[in-house]
Amino acid sequence: MSSQPSNSESSSFERLHPDIQQWVWAQGWTALRDAQEWAISALVDADRDVIIAASTAAGKTEAAFLPILTNLMEHQDPAGAVLYISPLKALINDQWDRLSRLCEQLDLPVVAWHGDVSASKKHKFLRSPNGVLLITPESLEALFVNRGSSLMALFQNLRYIVVDELHAFIGSERGKQLQSLMQRVELVAGKTLPRVGLSATLGDMSLASEFLRPGHPERVQVIESKSSGQNLQVQVRGYMMPPMQKLRAVEVPNADPDQNREEEEEEDESGSRHAIAAHMYKVLRGSNNLVFPNSRQEVEWYADRLRRLCEISGMPNEFLPHHGSLSKDLREDTERALKAGTPPATAVCTTTLELGIDIGNIKTVVQIGSPPSVASLRQRLGRSGRRNDEPATLRAYCQERELTDQSLLSDLLRQNLVQSIAMIRLLIGNWFEPPRAEGLHASTLVQQILSVIAQQGGASAAQLWGGLVGSGTFKSISKTDFFSLLKGLGEKKLIVQDSSGLLLPGEVGERLINHYEFYSAFTSDEEFRLVREGKPLGSVPVSRPLMKGQRIIFGGRRWRVLDVDIEKKVIVVTAARGGQPPQFDGLGAMVHDHVREEMRAVLTETTPCPFIDSKAQELLSEARKSFFSLGLANKFTYGSDSKTHLVTWRGDQTNDALVLMFNHVGMACESSGLALSVGGSQKNVADALAKIAELDPDDIESLLEGVENLIKEKWDWALPRSLLMKSYASSQLNFKGAVEFATLFSTRWLHGGSTFESTTVH
């Protein structure tokens, strides 16, 4: 679809209800946007599933609801209803305000349903379930558990299910929960309902269609806007970090001596963070902006430093923090300041402002350090340049460390900078990561089993299999694993079976179902405390496979893991030998294969990058010089007789799988982002990769032996170990990709070396 936006006299516009046409004219619109035009004929008859993909602020909500509300207005006997599902309460509040202005003129109720909404407003919808119900997956889950007997009356007049920010669900535990809930809504309603997905970021439409209608993606009509392209302004600035500061002991008043820990010395005002803050203050003050550092700690540091710069200049503070640990009131104060626009405000934030809450017109989006993903960068950048006469503006700041004889590959190749450049190039080329849709998410299956049992007052194994697995939601779960899971849930007293074979909540299950935290399918990433000789060093989220004896980087130093206590979330470490650790510590999001391939392309080229400043160009030139001097333009390895560095140009899920496989065949290996460091000569590595090429990637139990942190998702503790391993590997690792790489390497080695030829493995 590539036609131009239509005017409001188009045939599609004429299909809208007269009252809705009048509302469109009242907004002063002179034309419908392309997605709005196409969505009318697709949705008005409520006879198909539809995905509407368009950039932020491209009118996706109106594209869906103008025809949907037309259907409700034209068929009022009986009165119809729409179920709108959103990932965020704040987005529900925002959409309630937006839709209420339209629906008020149509005499259609719009009801928001989440924990902050009063019971009286919810009961009003329960008494008369028509209009638009805005709800989160968690609140919808609570309806199933607590009002199972009355759901038929609640859902019998549903006409549509609308899922906002569809990309935020795909490939996650919450996404599996949502798929299950949509299927269960249809079972209660007794009919197939048209599902409508709205998203600004969808890398693979076939994956999105499969997610929206599992097993039948061909039924989904995709509407992809072509008229929402933005002019983009980009600048990447490079900064050299000062030499590493030594750690100092920090005394905690009135605390046990063992509670004292080590912290880095604060850099002085000549440091790179201060320079970045000073430049941001200069270019951002006086306008509305979003600044995305890569951690809450950095959010607080930059927000505080920018506030102090305002004080020093005698100016009112314009810079406000926004992250999940702040109180709701403080977050809403920042959102209101952005939305008001006057006086100007800049939010220094985490992903909390990445999704589609309306925060008004944003001039500039700032990224400090490499972004978590191309998809995330695109979502953030969609906040900027909403006015027709304004470009979307991205400013990126990258810090790199001075090179020494001890510098590792991540620093030699300027990984932060090169990854940022690669991601921006992919963004410009309209590529972004497809979600990892292969995950079993058996944890969420546990929750859905308990939820269905609670909803129905009991369920047979056959009912659970048919409704949850046979429906396509958990289609990757085998019957053997399913019945093993039911047996395990019985052993853990989560379920019991009565004499008729009916499954009921067990002693433990009943207690957990009745707890308010049950309705969420996920838990926030828990941080592990790092402890050395009884003294805490700090805490860090751990998402990568963790084994005793491996080395990790924390606080600018290397540590070797002595022990892992999963229950207490403690990692016992000791100082490890080694040179200066890389600036890139690999604690961020998992990097995709294609991003690493694009990084290699950036390093292979010799022409200057057009959107980076002179300092960043100098750093890029250093990286390219290192790349060619190490021979990485035509081989995968370099090193000595005792240690080999293997540069795969693959993503983290493949590299993490290779680390485990090297250890499995008896060679110590660790990952530092771009490179794997393997104990042994290049010939030893080649021999080990030949063995890896022969491994069975489906032999999960053998390959994951020794991994300590398999419990990643909320209900993983309830899984049989075999299913736990399969579930972990399906979402965290790419063993098949690792075997493919090992086979590729071994083939080339046999033909005269590890010569690199451009081969893409996705």
Binning pLDDT at 50, 70 and 90, where does residue 63 land? very high
Give the separation between CA 372 and CA 589, rounded to whole angstroms.
5
Query: Using one digit for the tens of pLDDT, what is the confidence trace for 669-692?
Result: 988 788 999 999 999 999 999 999
Omega of the bond prior to 78 within 30 degrees of 0, cis?
yes
**pLDDT at position 269, please?**
64
Least confident segment among 38-42, 431-435, 644-648: 431-435
Look at residues 403, 386, 270, 304 and name the one whose alpha carbon lies nearest to residue 338: 386
Residue 760, pLDDT > 50, answer no
Give the separation between CA 130 and CA 108, rounded to whole angstroms.
8
Tell me how many degrees the CA angle 61-64-69 measures, rounded to the nearest 5: 110
Q: Please compute the mean of the pLDDT values over residues 62-90 and round it to a whole number.
A: 94
Tell me how many degrees the CA angle 505-508-512 measures, rounded to the nearest 5: 85
Binning pLDDT at 50, 70 and 90, where does residue 330 land? confident
**pLDDT at position 3, please?**
37
Residues 634, 635, 641, 642, Cα dihedral to 10°: 130
Tokens 């070396």 appear where?
753
Residues 459, 481, 491, 179, Cα dihedral to 10°: -50
Q: Identity (one letter) of the amino acid at 29?
A: W
* 560: exposed, middle or buried (Cβ count in 10 Å: 0-12, 13-18, 19+): middle
Q: Other C-beta atoms within 10 Å of 98: how many? A: 15
The pair of structure tokens assigned to 721 is 């170990």
**pLDDT at position 246, please?**
41
Residues 118, 119, 120, 122, Cα dihedral to 10°: 100
Least confident segment among 158-162, 361-365, 596-600: 361-365
Q: Look at 296 and 368; give whichever has higher pLDDT.
A: 368
Return all residues near 710 (Cβ < 8 A) that are at least 6 apart: 704, 716, 724, 725, 728
Using DSSP bridges, classify how beta strands 551-554 and 535-541 pair: parallel, antiparallel or unpaired: unpaired
Query: Using one digit for the tens of pLDDT, what is the confidence trace for 397-451?
Result: 999 999 988 888 889 999 999 999 999 999 999 898 888 888 999 999 999 999 9
The pair of structure tokens assigned to 19 is 């009252």
Using the 8-state DSSP alphabet, how is residue 387 labeled? Answer: S
Q: Please compute the mean of the pLDDT values over residues 103-123 and round it to a whole number.
A: 88
Residue 225, pLDDT > 90, answer no
Look at residues 601, 595, 653 and name the one whose alpha carbon lies nearest to residue 623: 601
Binning pLDDT at 50, 70 and 90, where does residue 227 land? low
**pLDDT at position 264, please?**
43
DSSP assignment of 15-42 equals TS-HHHHHHHHHTT-SB--HHHHHHHHH
Give the separation between CA 370 and CA 590, rounded to whole angstroms.
12
* C-alpha pair distances (Å), 603 with each of 410, 422, 607: 13, 10, 10
Using the 8-state DSSP alphabet, how is residue 459 labeled? Answer: B
Q: Look at 84 and 756; give whichever has higher pLDDT.
A: 84
Q: Please compute the mean of the pLDDT values over residues 731-749 and round it to a whole number.
A: 92
Return all residues near 172 (Cβ < 8 A) that are at least 6 apart: 435, 439, 441, 522
**pLDDT at position 57, please?**
67
Least confident segment among 53-57, 476-480, 562-566: 53-57
Q: Please compute the mean of the pLDDT values over residues 653-658 and round it to a whole number.
A: 95
Query: What's the whole-number average pLDDT of the chain?
Result: 87
DSSP assignment of 38-62 equals HHHHHHTT--SEEEEE--TTS-HHH
Give the separation between CA 163 and CA 156, rounded to whole angstroms.
19
Please answer whether residues 486 and 461 qualify as being in contact, where contact means their C-beta atoms are separated by less than 8 angstroms: yes
Binning pLDDT at 50, 70 and 90, where does residue 148 land? confident
Give the separation between CA 170 and CA 174, rounded to whole angstroms.
8
Query: Using one digit for the tens of pLDDT, what is the confidence trace for 701-717?
Result: 999 988 888 988 999 99
Q: Look at 18 and 552; give whichever has higher pLDDT.
A: 18
The pair of structure tokens assigned to 600 is 């290699």
Tokens 């809403």 appear where?
332
* C-alpha pair distances (Å), 105 with each of 21, 30, 62, 109, 568: 11, 20, 15, 10, 56
Q: Please compute the mean of the pLDDT values over residues 718-728 and round it to a whole number.
A: 96
Residue 548, pLDDT > 90, answer no
Least confident segment among 191-195, 254-258, 345-349: 254-258
Give the separation between CA 730 and CA 435, rounded to whole angstroms.
13
Q: Please compute the mean of the pLDDT values over residues 372-393 and round it to a whole number.
A: 84
Look at residues 362, 396, 365, 368 and name the one whose alpha carbon lies nearest to residue 381: 365
Q: Look at 326 and 555; give whichever has higher pLDDT.
A: 326
Return all residues near 348 (Cβ < 8 A) that are at least 6 apart: 291, 293, 299, 302, 303, 306, 319, 320, 321, 322
Give the separation between CA 487 and CA 493, rounded to whole angstroms.
10
Give the separation between CA 338 and CA 676, rounded to whole angstroms.
44
Q: Please compute the mean of the pLDDT values over residues 692-700 and round it to a whole number.
A: 96
Look at residues 741, 719, 540, 577 and name the one whose alpha carbon lies nearest to residue 659: 741
Q: Phi and psi at residue 641, in whole multiples of 5°?
A: -70, -25
Residue 31: strand pairing partners: 7
Backbone conformation region of residue 385, classed left if phi is above 0, alpha if psi is from -120 to 50, else beta: left
Give the separation between CA 114 and CA 516, rounded to whole angstroms.
13
DSSP assignment of 472-504 equals STTTTS-HHHHHHHHHHHHHTTSEEE-TTS-EE
Number of residues that this document lists for the chain: 762
Q: Look at 268 and 63; give whichever has higher pLDDT.
A: 63
SS3 state at 279: helix
Tokens 């021999």 appear where?
687
Binning pLDDT at 50, 70 and 90, where does residue 341 land? confident
What angle in degrees, to the nearest 10, is found between the helix axes of 682-693 and 735-750? 130
**pLDDT at position 268, please?**
59
Tokens 């999963």 appear where?
566
* C-alpha pair distances (Å), 307 with each of 98, 274, 312: 33, 13, 9
Residue 350, pLDDT > 60, answer yes
**pLDDT at position 315, please?**
95
Tokens 């399918």 appear where?
521
Binning pLDDT at 50, 70 and 90, where does residue 255 land? very low
Print the SS3 string covering 628-656.
Answer: HHCCCCCECEEECCCEEEEECCCCHHHHH
Using the 8-state DSSP alphabet, how is residue 704 labeled? Answer: T
The pair of structure tokens assigned to 593 is 């294969």
**pLDDT at position 537, please?**
79
Share of the chain above pLDDT 70, in %: 89
| CA 395 to chain CA mean position, Å | 22
Binning pLDDT at 50, 70 and 90, where does residue 546 land? confident
**pLDDT at position 556, please?**
59
Please answer whether residues 537 and 555 qualify as being in contact, where contact means their C-beta atoms are separated by less than 8 angstroms: yes
Q: Which of 85-89, 152-156, 429-433, 608-612 has the highest mean pLDDT?
A: 608-612
Residue 165, pLDDT > 50, answer yes
Binning pLDDT at 50, 70 and 90, where does residue 90 land? confident
Backbone conformation region of residue 612, classed left if phi is above 0, alpha if psi is from -120 to 50, else beta: beta
* C-alpha pair distances (Å), 592 with each of 298, 368, 597, 627, 673: 24, 20, 9, 20, 12
**pLDDT at position 576, please?**
79
Give the separation between CA 720 and CA 731, rounded to whole angstroms.
17
* Helix, strand, coil in percent for the chain, rounding step 5: 45, 20, 40
Please answer whether residues 472 and 180 qualify as being in contact, where contact means their C-beta atoms are separated by less than 8 angstroms: no
Share of the chain above pLDDT 90, in %: 60
The H-assigned helical ranges of 226-295 are 272-284
Residue 524, pLDDT > 70, answer no
* C-alpha pair distances (Å), 155 with each of 70, 158, 331: 19, 5, 34
